[in-house]
Amino acid sequence: MTSLKVDLEDVQITIAEETLLRVRKFWREHDLTLGIELLDAQHMWLIALVFHLEALIKDPHKSDNKQVEGVFHEALRYARTHFAAEEMVLAEYRFPEVDNHTAQHHTFQEHIGNLLLSPDNETGENAGKLNRFLQNWLIQHIKKEDMAYRDFFRQNNIDANSYFQRLVASDPEYALSQNQLELYAAISQHNEIVPGISNEVLHEIQRMWRSFSIRLYVPLIDMQHLWLIKMVVELSEALKADYERRASLLTDLLPDVKQYIQEHFAAEEAMMESLDYPVRAGHKNQHAAFIRTVTSHDADYATRTRQGASVLVNDLKDWLLSHIVIEDAKFAKLCREKNAEALAISKKLI
């Protein structure tokens, strides 16, 4: 990740590589990803501005009031653009808390506006106040308020990414700049290489994980879902092999897949019982129905043919896109509300 030169209205700033690395670390440590690409990129940009402002404050010899003021105004301007985008999608899909969410945006803008008009503005003291306010507000607002509409979209099968693709096509004001795209790519990409998993498989796992917004922010369940995706991808890769190689791979993979599905369901159901999930009976019935579906194709799987394995791949993909994204997301909301209890149960199940 290299430094970014950014042209603001009246000044050019350079966001240092060290600052950008800090943004990436901050983003991942606080788990701020919504899975809505435009909004995630906008959040990343606001955090980058906050951290750059902090760097200016810590080393005033490398900056001047014009640079500090330029970052101030850019933060306020871009917050307005971001808030408008959020409010449009929330209104479009009738998010129940849209009025409260909009009111928080107004409060945010008023607070920054007051700082800019403060008589202390020339002293640089406001830069520190803005930095503290922005960091605290961004974490709390994204983690609580923004995650709430993300859950609402998932539960109602709303594709916010498609909405924003249409918005950007019709109104270029919401298009990301080249700098913002580079920042998003640098923070989103993972450079770790996992031993035993090919780069092709890793790439496809990442694509599915991001494209279908499968992450629920419940560590144990996310870990198991991620492993299920890995198995689906490996099965898909096995289908491309010649007969002998395919038969060998499927002989190893198929029993593991079936066993892991049952282990995952058992873990989920144990958590539901412990947390007294109100609709756990219906959820467990869906698990049982899926196991019956998988078992009904045992004869197909036993052939180790491309056609037989593709049945299981399709079953698993359908399950990932429907049950996990919609049904598991409802249970995940309860897990986050009872976070300490859910983590304690997860530790016992690992």
SS3 190: coil
CA dihedral 143, 130, 60, 119 (to 10 degrees): 180
Q: How far apart are CA 97 and CA 187, in angstroms?
A: 29
- Indicate if 65 and 176 belong to the same structural domain: yes
Amino acid residing at 203 = H
* The amino acid at 109: Q
* pLDDT confidence band for 127 (50 / 70 / 90): low
Q: What CATH number is attached to the domain comprising 26?
A: 1.20.120.50
Domain identity same for 247 and 344? yes
**Residues 282 and 154 occupy one common structural domain:** no
C-alpha torsion sign, points 275, 277, 280, 281: positive
CA angle 153, 156, 163 (to 5 degrees): 50
Do 287 and 313 sit in the same domain of this protein? yes
The closest alpha carbon to 295, from 311, 306, 307, belongs to 311
CB atoms near residue 307 (< 10 Å): 9
Beta bridge partners of 47: none
| Mean pLDDT, the chain, whole residue set | 80
The total domain count for the chain is 2
As to burial, measured by CB atoms within 10 angstroms (0-12 exposed, 13-18 middle, 19+ buried), residue 251 is exposed
C-alpha–C-alpha distance, residues 99 and 82, integer Å? 16
> In the numeric block, which tokens belong to residue 74?
């850019």
Do residue 150 and residue 128 come from a single domain? yes
Same domain, 171 and 195: no
- Residues 156, 199 share a domain: no
CB atoms within 10 A of CB 45: 23
Which domain range does residue 52 map to? 4-187
**Residue 29 shares a structural domain with residue 56:** yes
**pLDDT tens, position by position, 28-70:** 777 788 888 899 999 999 899 888 888 887 776 666 677 777 8
**327: nearest Cα among 246, 251, 272:** 272
Give residue-wise pLDDT tens across range 179-234: 888 888 878 764 433 445 565 666 677 777 777 677 777 888 888 888 888 888 88
User: How far is Cα 312 from Cα 296, in angstroms, rounded to an integer?
Assistant: 11
Cα(130)–Cα(67) distance, integer angstroms: 14
Nearest to 14, CA basis, from 2, 27, 4, 28: 4
- Please compute Rg for the chain using Cα positions: 24
Domain co-membership, 32 together with 17: yes
Q: Do 199 and 320 share a domain, yes or no?
A: yes
Rounded distance between C-alpha atoms, residue 314 and residue 236, angstroms = 9
Same domain, 142 and 264: no
Give the pLDDT confidence score for residue 125 in this predicted structure: 61
Closest residue by Cα to residue 41 from 145, 164, 205: 164
Name 4's bridge partners: 15
Domain-ending residue, one of 132, 164, 187: 187
The domain boundary residue, chosen from 131, 165, 187: 187
Percent helix, strand, coil in the chain, to 5, is 80, 0, 20
Q: Are residues 20 and 111 in the same domain?
A: yes
| Residue ending a domain, choose from 187, 214, 239 | 187
Q: 339 versus 117: which is more confidently predicted?
A: 339
pLDDT digits (tens, 9 = 90+) for 275-314: 999 999 999 998 998 888 778 777 766 665 666 667 777 7
